[in-house]
Chains A and B, each alone.
Chain A
Amino acid sequence: MKVKMLSRNPDNYVRETKLDLQRVPRNYDPTLHPFEVPREYIRALNATKLERVFAKPFLASLDGHRDGVNCLAKHPKSLATVLSGACDGEVRIWNLTKRKCIRTIQAHEGFVRGICTRFCGTSFFTVGDDKTVKQWKMDGPGYGEEEEPLHTILGKTVYTGIDHHWKEAVFATCGQQVDIWDEQRTSPICSMTWGFDSISSVKFNPIETFLLGSCASDRNIVLYDMRQATPLKKVILDMRTNTICWNPMEAFIFTAANEDYNLYTFDMRALDTPVMVHMDHVSAVLDVDYSPTGKEFVSASFDKSIRIFPVDKSRSREVYHTKRMQHVICVKWTSDSKYIMCGSDEMNIRLWKANASEKLGVLTSREKAAKDYNQKLKEKFQHHPHIKRIARHRHLPKSIYSQIQEQRIMKEARRRKYDLGHLILSQYPFLTSPLSSPEINKNQPSEGIVYVPLYSRDVFEYCHEGEAVII
């Protein structure tokens, strides 16, 4: 007879002294861990609930401006420095860690229309309603010196926007035309126009640095190549685009913030349809800025809220608002991709967390592990109805909430109308099928210009998410 009984030595399982760590032998045998999936599900549910509990995104409000904040700029080298221009011509430089204004400049008479920093971070440019472009030193004046711009360029017309080249000493302004300037000269290297209208914003592509895009009040977005004398391409939308922003990771993708409450992400190579239409705002979208990862962007709207959209989703993942925040005019995503700043009508700049429930500060390794585990669980069970409902729930101010309801009714009505029209179409099979209607591209005016008609957006709306690009 050979016999062996299970006989454990407790010394191997119990700590020796109270100062030791407890011993935790592990065995990953699935029979010892029953109900793995239901328990993970409950953990995911708890993690989602906790995420909502800890979602406190608002960090600080920087006050000091004496008029609405009109434009914001990031410092290219220092994370803590932010520049802002107000409607009374004042420019302020802020320190985010101290949450204080470190410098104030009365830069222009009238609005500061645009502000941008040089790529090296030593100086910045402002344009204002007084038809001037001014270059300023980033550091304040020395003792006894007066606050004066490095250079001042007097223009003939009002400039409405400015952006600096990402690598060279070149900047672009817009107004009645897009001007490309050399920093050393007082007249533009070249001026480009396509049609006659005031251009509201111009942006350099951060990767293909010779490319720039602008949007004008005649509803179009025009792309230029700095090396050529003429513009490249043009898209006409239904309503005016306020700003565009290039994706910092994908050179050919840009997003346009439109007056018709939507944002359109375009692929520069195929402009006839937007890659994605982002809708959730209930008023004109005024500004947009990409996260440095290129996966998400933030948009500021006239409806007193900012929203964060994933690039490949048509619905926002997050909405931020406060009781006191008025129409948000400008928004920036900081270069460490952790924070969002927005400047609004009521003279404040607000600092938000990009991830509402993120814990700031140094995490211990256990905290980090728990966070990663919870993140993975949430991801795994994100489609379950309970979890989805909790994760999506946001409290909204009454004005936005009722507007959303109203918008929904309007969309439903439009859809019904569209459906009815196509119901008649489908009765006559010799007519083309509803989805490839001949109307869609009929208004194409000329080569290189694409017209996106109104109701094509409605098609996007009620196609399933992710399949919106049927047309």
Chain B
Amino acid sequence: MRAGGLPGFYKPSVGQLRGVCTWIVVRVGEMETAPKPGRDVPPKKDRLQAKKKKPRRYWEEETTLTAVGASPGPPRNKKRNRELRPQRPKNTNIAKKSRISRKPQLPKKPRERGNTEPQRSVSGAQDPFPGPAPVPVEVARKFRRIDKSKKLPHSKSKTRNRLEVAEAEEEEISIKAARSELLLAEEPGFLEGEDGEDTAKIRQADIVEAVDIASAAKHFDLNLRQFGPYRLNYSPTGRHLAFGGRRGHVATLDWVTKRLMCEINVMEAVRDIRSVWVRHPLPENDRALTPFPLNNFSSPSRFLHSEALLAVAQNRWLHIYDNQGIELHCIRRCDRVTRLEFLPFHFLLATAAETGFLTYLDVSVGKIVAALNARAGRLDVMTKNPYNAVIHLGHSNGTVSLWSPAMKEPLAKILCHRGGVRAVAVDSTGTYMATSGLDHQLKIFDLRGMFQPLSARTLPQGAGHLAFSQRGLLAAGISDVVNIWAGQGKASPPSLEQPYLTHRLSGHVHGLHFCPFEDVLGVGHNGGITSMLVPGAAEPNFDGLESNPYRSQKQRQEWEVKALLEKVPAELICLDPRALAEVDVISLEQEKKERIERLVWSRPQCSGPTTLPMLPVPCPPKYGTADGGCHISRTLRISPLSNPHLRATTLRPKLPSSRSQSGRAAARQQAW
């Protein structure tokens, strides 16, 4: 099935739209020739009322705004019309000008509206922007799901028609989605130097001075010299910060309000820390998750819980703590873990260990899904690809290997550096991978095709830690300096020539993480934690149904249930997550061959110059009858079409994902 799209959306047919478009063209022509039709001057009484401004609620303002933006048709009632007018002085000017010419036309109007010009409003006002809003092509492309360049081989006309319809619908949807971008409330942040000013020279203190108080409060330092170097992790909504120091200090923090949620010392070395979302058994307060205490509610006095549990990779084993610092689990099957990654849609906690094992733990049921031996010695460089949940491991021989729990072997291996790999990061679209190695190189790879390096740069000391932000900024921790590079836009790789920002810290960098949905970079270092301001790092508009930083308890509960219901099984992790929606051409052709073979029967003697041995060929499994009933066919079926090799790879009952994945992996390995 190639038919994509969000089902359940209203999709107008192309014909309908085309009708609208032609109608607009006609109308524009009319407008040029015909004298401008006037509009009603609002009666004086109305005007007076408009001047007396009633105190308005936010929702009233919103509805009127949408009415201005969206409806080209006649306004539904006069009251709304009245409210609009003071906001649009331009229109009232037009009305004044055309007052004289308008009067004789007044009686005609209803007729006109009924017949030819349904878009003219009661007042006679014309829509200054007729027709649907224009959609920039690039934005529409962002939402496109079907790749039109790919064609199915030999599709029948019926199938082709169906595909064409699906594609047309797809196009419609992408245009609609692109048009809805207009409604997004927030703009991304930015930092621009004046003429010739290098943004990298701008210090954090300058930024803090320039921005508003709420943003300035997001820059802070935690001076924790005793327990350093720190690793840190933000929760997926960006509300909570968990950090753990090498000397056993573990704490979680509501970092916006700076409220400490728990603090413990695990009395053991902490190597990595991750917040994991699973159902928390304790009752929770409703207001806990609203970011700022609101005036009309008394601020809660008791200790607040959040949904997050903490997975802490300690010296020996993996431990899971709840928010009060109570140890819930000690997972001894994951020992000497060095790095942790959480795959939220699969509910998998991936751990890389000193023993060389990559272990996947399903946190929703508490089972180990897969333990893969990478056979590359100690693993201490790991990152996840947020686009397809593939785990990237960096090795000491300069390769990066890509893993999925369904395969015992890596999906691909990429030779990135001459020395060992020190850090790997993948951006949120899954397109670019940044690596840094012992050869002091920082490279960016394109993950889409054959893993080509796009750009490389030698750094004086080499980056030990890398992180991508939601909008594609790349942060690198180079001893005690953090460098941040930016690209052209969201979907472009960061250009490594000129850093966007730099910041020197009081200790060596040990962990980097961009806060989701906030322009903040958390840096863990020898001297504690630093929260840096990085304008333009985060996605400004979150989706309330995916990860909402402002969600209430009820919303979170509902979201949790839904997330658990649609937990993606671990077997579906593969390089292309869209493969599941595509036609499995390989097995389709196999099936077709078999059908032809069954209908157009030919004996081996007649079948051509190739002489095939009369071997007992394994038949495809027959459902139902035990006797099989195909003793004859077992010997007769040997023909070039029933090549035993082909038959062995009959792939009917498997899931398509694992197949495409294995095929792809094989292709990759060959290429490698």
Contacts and interface: CB of A to CB of B under 8 A. Distances in A.
> Are A and B part of the same complex?
yes
B665 to A, nearest CB: 18
B598 A462 contact: yes
A379 B541 CA distance: 32
Contact of A2 (B1, B191, B572, B636): B191
A37 B625 contact: no
Interface string B596-611: 0011011100100000
Interface stretch (B109-117, B449-457, B478-486, B649-657): B649-657
A25 to B, nearest CB: 5
A23 B215 contact: no
A393 interface: no
B210 A3 contact: yes
A29 B632 CA distance: 58
A36 B578 CA distance: 8
B202 interface: yes
B190 to A, nearest CB: 5
Contact of B578 (A4, A29, A37): A37
A3 B8 contact: no
A344 B467 CA distance: 72
Interface in B623-662: 624-625, 627, 629, 632, 636, 652-657
A6 B540 contact: yes
Given A5-B189, A6-B188, A383-B1, A373 B7 contact: yes
Interface in B383-422: 386-389
Contacts of B202: 1, 3
A426 B177 CA distance: 58
A469 interface: no
A405 interface: yes
A14 B550 contact: yes
A195 interface: no
A4 B538 CA distance: 12
Nearest to A464: B595
A27 B542 contact: yes
Contact of B542 (A11, A32, A37, A40): A32
B533 interface: yes
B50 interface: no
A196 interface: no
B207 A3 contact: yes
A305 B599 CA distance: 33
Contact of B192 (A1, A10, A35): A1
A408 interface: yes
Nearest to A44: B7
A30 B142 contact: yes
A22 B552 contact: yes
A413 interface: yes
A335 to B, nearest CB: 29
Contact of B518 (A6, A34, A434): A6
Nearest to B343: A35
Interface stretch (A106-114, A144-152, A207-215, A416-424): A416-424
B602 A426 contact: yes
Contacts of B606: 426-427
A105 to B, nearest CB: 49
Contacts of B317: none
A467 to B, nearest CB: 9
A29 B174 CA distance: 10
A435 B389 CA distance: 51
A37 B580 contact: yes
A373 B566 CA distance: 15
A269 interface: no
Kindly name the residue among A1, A41, A379, A462 whose own CB sees the greatest number of chain B CB atoms within 10 A. A1
A369 B9 CA distance: 9
Contact of B544 (A25, A31, A426, A434): A25
A372 B7 CA distance: 8
Contact of A14 (B184, B290, B345): B290
A380 B7 contact: yes
A357 interface: no
Nearest to A377: B7
B7 A1 contact: no
Given A37-B577, A380-B1, A10 B292 contact: yes
B185 A12 contact: yes
A98 to B, nearest CB: 37
A35 B545 contact: no
Contacts of B345: 34-35, 38-39
Given A23-B544, A405-B624, A6 B3 contact: no
Contacts of A34: 345, 386-387, 577
B625 A408 contact: yes
Contacts of B32: none
A423 B142 CA distance: 56
Given A37-B580, A42-B566, A464-B595, A416 B177 contact: no
A22 B197 CA distance: 44
B519 A385 contact: no
A5 B625 contact: no
A32 to B, nearest CB: 5
Interface string B566-584: 1111001000011111000
A35 B211 contact: no
Contact of A1 (B194, B470, B580, B627): B194
A103 interface: no
Contacts of A372: 7-8
A41 B533 CA distance: 39
Interface string B267-288: 0000000000000000000000
Contacts of B321: none
A52 to B, nearest CB: 16
A4 B535 contact: yes
A42 B603 contact: no
A239 B542 CA distance: 67
A119 interface: no
A375 to B, nearest CB: 8
A380 B3 contact: yes
B502 interface: no
Contacts of B540: 6
A381 interface: yes
B548 A376 contact: no
Given A2-B192, A373-B8, A419 B601 contact: yes
B601 A43 contact: no
Nearest to B294: A14
Contacts of A462: 598
A380 B290 CA distance: 38
Given A383-B1, A420-B632, A30 B143 contact: yes
A25 B572 contact: no
Given A10-B550, A32-B543, A409-B625, A385 B655 contact: yes
B138 interface: no
Contacts of B7: 372-373, 375-377, 379-380
A67 to B, nearest CB: 39
Given A3-B211, A423-B603, A38 B572 contact: yes
Contacts of B555: 22, 24
Contacts of B40: none
Interface in A43-68: 43, 46
Contacts of B212: 5, 7
Given A1-B191, A369-B8, A464-B595, A26 B577 contact: no
Contacts of A383: 1
B32 to A, nearest CB: 37
B134 interface: no
B655 A4 contact: no
A38 B388 CA distance: 10
Given A13-B548, A372-B7, 9 more contacts: A4-B191, A7-B211, A7-B214, A13-B550, A42-B569, A46-B565, A376-B7, A423-B601, A423-B636
9 closest cross-chain pairs (CB), A and B: A376-B7, A24-B544, A373-B8, A5-B215, A13-B550, A27-B541, A2-B192, A38-B568, A37-B581
